[in-house]
Amino acid sequence: MAPDIVLVRVWILTLLLATPVALASTPPSAPPALDVVLAPHTKGGAVDRLEVRMRIGHPDLAAGQTLLRMPLTWASIPTARYDAAAIQASDAKGPLELVAVDETSIEDEVYRHWKLGRGTVGDVRVRYGTPPRVVSSETRNGPLFDLRGEAGGIMGAGVYFFALPHTEQSYRITLEWDLSGMPAGSRGIWSLGEGSQSTVAPADTLAHSFYAAGPVKSAPAEGEGNFSLYWLSPPPFDAGALSNQIRELYGHMSEFFQDAGAPYRVFVRANPYPSGGGTAFPRSFMFGYGPGGETIGRGTLMLIAHEMAHNWPTLHGEGHGDYAWYTEGTADYYAALLALRSGVIDQARFLSIINGYASDYYTNPFRSLGNEQVAARFWSDARAQRVPYGRGFMYLARVDAQMREKSGGKRSLDTLVLEILARQRQGEKVGVREWIALVTRELGASARAEFEDMVAGKTIVPLPNSFGPCWRPVAVTERPFDLGFDEMRLAVVRDLRPGSAAEQAGVKEGDKILSMTPLQQARSHSKQKMELTVERGGRRLRLSYSPRGAPVPGWRWTRKPGVSDVACKL
């Protein structure tokens, strides 16, 4: 769950967007054009600006209507937040006056709308730009939704810099790169491909994508094929070997989810602070690593496996808290299970991974809160963000065990997940209500009660046959890891928890952290002390404490003696 020095916060935006395969089919009436040119510019060896040039085909908007909009923050990450003067717009009659108005959406996100002073005539051309976000060792770790400069290039998410038409209609989107302001040999990559690309999709597809430009390296070297991995700074791991391993797993995943041959792209960037994590968009994923190569405690492979799984299982809902148990739970479940089935990991590694999931769940201090209460804390406390992962995994593992038991092994969680996908591919919106109907169909009326217990935060106990026949759950007691302050920002002590072992050891709010025991080392070994060197008032202090809370009951799986690996197929 954690990288070597900081708890990863993998916040996944799961969107009910069409896949690139679906996007390729044009509706009977041709959609309007949305032509985009991205023009990064370097100064002094670093990118100082990314300019966006856009042509919107005949929007036919009246005075007072919204031409463009963008969120001011996205999952706690600030965006470029252009003011009205920063965006230039014109049409067949000449310049268009824009007024910036901030409005709150039904999802409680604040969007900036650029409203028109008069009606539009013909095509509208728009121009604006932003420097990359400035980050440092003191920046709080979070979802990878910003745009950053790195190693003479840029990498980030479109939601940071795109102000886009405010409509759900599809466009004929073309995206091109103007690399004349970049060094020779620079490349431009979008989630949908390298260089000039086109698709038919809603405008928000541009925001919900990743981008990289500059002296980008890749595996394969030319980015050919359906799977590619991209980076700017030389990563502290063998990118080629990782790419081959991920490609094999992705091939197995896409076949299982009946989507063989679909493209996928992974973007890798370096963080200036000692933490990592990842964020997924459709058909693409970005992960960051710290100066010491930190990603997450279960390793880079499982981080990417989780994100790749996000391409498929999802539920429809109004708020992330409504369905996060499913999206995050299925991502964890199938990251481990399909890695095992594909042979990318062995039985011992699989056991270690699912026990890590269980430990995360039972030791989380917010485990007993309901989904709505957890969602309210999602961006204020890193520990709350992890609840849907463990809760969803444990609940889905229980459903799987119940279905296998009732059907004599003929039906499983796979049956439900693939049925939901098939219905979604036919255009049906499948949400929580439909999930309840499905599990009730399979398991009877008690399934509804179990679902409601899960939503309310009731502790989930694994069934004896879960992950059988090779493994069985056993009751354990463990002391939860508790650093005592915000694990997302490790340059300075923030949000020191009163009464924590850290506070009792003398740690103070605002202490500058000079060095510390790697978090993964402290997490993995229950007797490991946290050794901190901090600076306070010009003095260096060395502090030591046990980063553990009071013992809590939990469960973990152990291997059943006498059962061969051949019988362990799941």
Please check the confidence at residue 7 and state whether its pLDDT lies above 50.
no
DSSP state of 84: G
Task: Give the residue with greater pLDDT, 505 vs 297.
Answer: 505
Per-residue pLDDT averaged across 152-177, rounded? 97
Please check the confidence at residue 319 and state whether its pLDDT lies above 60.
yes
Angle between helices 239-256 and 320-342 (to 10 degrees): 110
Q: What is the pLDDT of residue 1?
A: 34
Q: What is the pLDDT of residue 519?
A: 79
Query: What tens digit of pLDDT does each residue of 34-52 get?
Result: 999 999 999 999 999 999 9
* CA dist., res. 50 & res. 154, Å (int): 9
Report which listed range, 182-196, 214-228, 362-376, is most confident. 182-196
Task: Give the residue with greater pLDDT, 152 vs 297.
Answer: 152
pLDDT bin (cut points 50, 70, 90) of residue 108 is low
pLDDT bin (cut points 50, 70, 90) of residue 6 is very low
pTM, two decimals, is 0.80
Please check the confidence at residue 297 and state whether its pLDDT lies above 60.
no
Task: Give the residue with greater pLDDT, 128 vs 299.
Answer: 128
* CA dist., res. 61 & res. 91, Å (int): 11
* CA dist., res. 27 & res. 440, Å (int): 37
Asked whether the beta carbons of 131 and 40 are under 8 A apart, the reply is no
Q: Which residue has 């009436």 as its token pair?
A: 29
Q: What is the pLDDT of residue 195?
A: 96
* CA dist., res. 56 & res. 60, Å (int): 10
Query: What tens digit of pLDDT does each residue of 38-96 get?
Result: 999 999 999 999 999 999 999 999 999 999 999 999 988 999 999 989 999 999 999 99
Query: 3-class SS at 453?
Result: helix
Query: What tens digit of pLDDT does each residue of 269-285 get?
Result: 999 887 788 888 988 99
Task: Give the residue with greater pLDDT, 484 vs 381.
Answer: 484
Of 172, 198, 166, 205, the residue nearest 32 (C-alpha): 172
Quote the distance between the C-alpha of residue 169 and its chain's center: 25
* CA dist., res. 106 & res. 318, Å (int): 9
Domains of the chain (ranges; CATH) run: 20-309 (2.60.40.3650), 320-468 (1.10.390), 473-561 (2.30.42)
**Burial class of residue 450 (count of CB atoms within 10 Å of its CB; 0-12, 13-18, 19+):** middle
* CA dist., res. 394 & res. 388, Å (int): 10
Q: What is the pLDDT of residue 336?
A: 96
* CA dist., res. 171 & res. 56, Å (int): 9
* Cα–Cα distance list, 204 to 17, 168, 200, 280 (Å): 9, 8, 12, 15
* Cα–Cα distance list, 87 to 35, 63, 90, 103 (Å): 16, 17, 10, 18
